[in-house]
Amino acid sequence: MIKVLHIITKLEFGGAQGNTLHTVSHLDKNIFETRLAAGPGGMLEDKVPPGSLLTVPHLARPINPLRDLRALFELLGIIRDERPVIVHTHSSKAGILGRLAALLAGTPVIIHTFHGFGFHERQAAPARRFFVLLERFCALFTDSLVFVSSANLDYARDYDLCGTDKCSLIRSGIPLGNYPSRADRAAKRRELGVPQEAVLIVSLGNFKPQKNPADFITAAMRLAGAHKDAVFMLVGGGEGLEAARGRAKKAGLEQRLLFPGWREDSAEILAAADIFALTSLWEGLPRSLVEAVKTGLPSVCYKTDGVTDLLYDGANGFVVEQGDVDAFCMRLKELIEHPALRAEMAAKAAGADLSEFDIDYMVRRQEALYMELLKKKKAPLL
C-alpha cells in the first residue's frame, strides 16, 4: 500500500476542503492508504472517513509565529509517526508548514495544491513579498505544484513560483451528476420564502474578505428598489451573517435579501434560481460557479482567478472587473429585465462540456500524478 498524508489548515466549509475530503475518501483503496491532518474545530471533521483524521492542535489560519512553530513540530511528529510516502498539502498555511515538516522528515514525494494564494495585490507590498518568497522557497523542494485553474497557473508563473516541469493543472471538481438538481423548483421556493414569479439571484460563499459578500449586498440594495420582482439570496455563514441580516432588516428588505446560512441543499437552491452571482476577490477555482454553470444558470461574476476558465463574457454570462459594483449592477439589471437574454445564456451554460471539472476525474488525475512522481523518484512504496 502507498501511504498518503493530506494536510489542510482547517476543515471548514469551502472548495479546497470539499475537494480534499473527496480525494481522501475516494483514492483507490487497493493502492493507497490515506490520512488527513488538519487543525482542530472544523465543521467538516465528521466528513472524514473513520480513523483517518489526525488533529494538529496548533494549526490555525491566523499568523502567530510561536503557535505556527508548535504546529510545525506537531506536523513533523505526525509525519515521522505515519511515515507516508507522499505528503500532499492544501491551503496556504498548511502548505508552508506541511511541506517544511515533510522536508525535515525526509518524505520521498511532496506535493502542494494551490486552491488560491496566500498573497494578492490588495495586501501591503512588504507582506506580499514575504509570502511570495516563502512560496518560492517551498517550491524548491516540492516535487509537484498543482493548480486548480489556468488563471492560477498563469499567476504562479508571473511570480516565478514554478518551472514547467513542476506544474500540473488538475481542475477543482464537483459531482457533475448531481447538477442540475431534479428538485421541485416550486416546492424549494416555497420552503425558502421566495415568490414563484420572482427573479431569484443567488450567490454561494461564506462571510470572509476573500468572498467579499459586501459587494453582493450593496448590489442587491441598489437593485431591489427598481426591481420589485427580484429576490437576492446569499447562501453561507460566518461571523458577518447576523450583521448582514440586521442590515437587510433595517433597509426593509428582509423578504427580498435573504441569508439562509449554511445549507446542504445548495444544488436544489441553484435549481430554484434564475441568475448566479459571485463577487469574490480571490479564488483558486470557484466550485460554486462550476455548479451554477452545470445547473444552466447565467452568471455575473467578478473577473477573479478561475472565473474565466468557465465564464465567457456575453455568452454564458458576464464578467466584470473586481470591485466595479456599478458594472456588476448594470449586468445584473440586464439579466433581471430581459428573460430572453437569460434563457439564451442559460442554454449556453447548460450546453458546456464540463467533463474536466468532474470530481472523480480529478481524483484519477491525482492518482496518475502520484504514480508518475513515485516512479520518477524511485521511491519505496511502503
Which stretches of the chain are assigned E, i.e. beta strand?
Answer: 2-10, 32-39, 53-55, 86-90, 109-114, 144-147, 167-169, 199-204, 230-235, 257-261, 275-278, 299-302, 317-320
**Cell of residue 271, nine digits:** 435549481
pLDDT higher than 60, residue 111: yes
3-state class (DSSP) for residue 100: helix
CA distance 238 to 247: 15
* Section 227-242 average pLDDT: 92
Confidence of residue 109 (pLDDT cuts 50, 70, 90): very high
Q: Would you say the CATH fold of 176-354 matches that of 2-173+358-377?
A: yes
Q: How far is CA 300 from CA 252, 321, 328, in A?
A: 25, 11, 7
Helix (H, G, I), strand (E, B) or coil at 242: helix
Distance CA(244)–CA(178), nearest Å, equals 30
Is 381 a residue whose pLDDT tops 70? Answer: no
Q: What is the pLDDT confidence band of residue 195, given thresholds at 50, 70 and 90?
A: very high
3-class secondary structure per residue, 61-117: CCCCHHHHHHHHHHHHHHHHHHCCCEEEEECHHHHHHHHHHHHHHCCCEEEEEECCC
pLDDT score, position 117: 82
pLDDT tens, 56-85? 999 998 889 999 999 999 999 999 999 999
Q: Which helix (H) or strand (E) holds 200?
A: strand 199-204
**Residue 80: predicted pLDDT:** 98
Asked if the bond preceding 84 is cis, omega within 30° of 0, the reply is no
pLDDT in tens, 214-223: 999 999 999 9
Mean per-residue pLDDT over the chain, rounded: 93
Q: What is the pLDDT of residue 128?
A: 84
- Three-state SS at 254: coil
pLDDT mean over 36-49? 93
Cβ-contact 255, 224 below 8 angstroms: no
User: Would the pLDDT of 379 be above 80?
Assistant: no
C-alpha cell at 381: 512504496
* Superfamily the domain 2-173+358-377 falls into: Glycogen Phosphorylase B; (3.40.50.2000)
Q: Does domain 176-354 have CATH number 2.30.30.30?
A: no
* pLDDT at residue number 15: 83
User: If you search the block for the grid coordinates 522528515, which residue do you land on?
Assistant: 105
Over residues 147-160, mean pLDDT? 87
Q: Residue 13: pLDDT band by 50, 70, 90 thresholds? A: confident
How far apart are alpha carbons 49 and 349 in whole angstroms?
Answer: 34
Given a contact cutoff of 8 angstroms between Cβ atoms, the answer to whether 350 and 310 are in contact is: no
For cell 508518475, the residue is 372
Q: Is the pLDDT of residue 382 over 60?
A: no
For 87-96, write each residue's pLDDT tens digit.
999 989 999 9
- Our CA dihedral for 192, 282, 109, 140, rounded to 10 degrees, sits at -170
User: Does the pLDDT at position 120 exceed 70?
Assistant: no
pLDDT in tens, 290-349: 999 999 999 999 998 889 999 999 999 999 999 999 999 999 999 999 999 999 999 999
Q: How would residue 188 be classed by pLDDT, with cut points 50, 70 and 90?
A: very high
CB 285 within 8 A of CB 171: yes
Domain boundaries of the chain, sorted by first residue: 2-173+358-377, 176-354
pLDDT at residue number 162: 79
112 band by pLDDT with thresholds 50, 70 and 90 = very high
Sequence letter at residue 11: L
The helix (run of H) or strand (run of E) holding residue 158 is helix 150-158
Query: How many angstroms separate the CA atoms of 116 and 205, rounded?
Result: 15
Q: How far apart are CA 284 and CA 250, in angstroms?
A: 35
Confidence of residue 164 (pLDDT cuts 50, 70, 90): low
Under a CB-based contact definition with an 8 Å cutoff, are residues 17 and 43 in contact? no
Element (H, E) at 202: strand 199-204
Percent of the chain at pLDDT > 70 equals 98
The predicted pLDDT at position 283 comes to 82
Gap between the Cα atoms of 64 and 35, Å rounded: 26
Q: What is the mean pLDDT of residues 234-243?
A: 90
CB 59 within 8 A of CB 74: yes
Identify the residue whose cell numbers are 470539499. Answer: 18
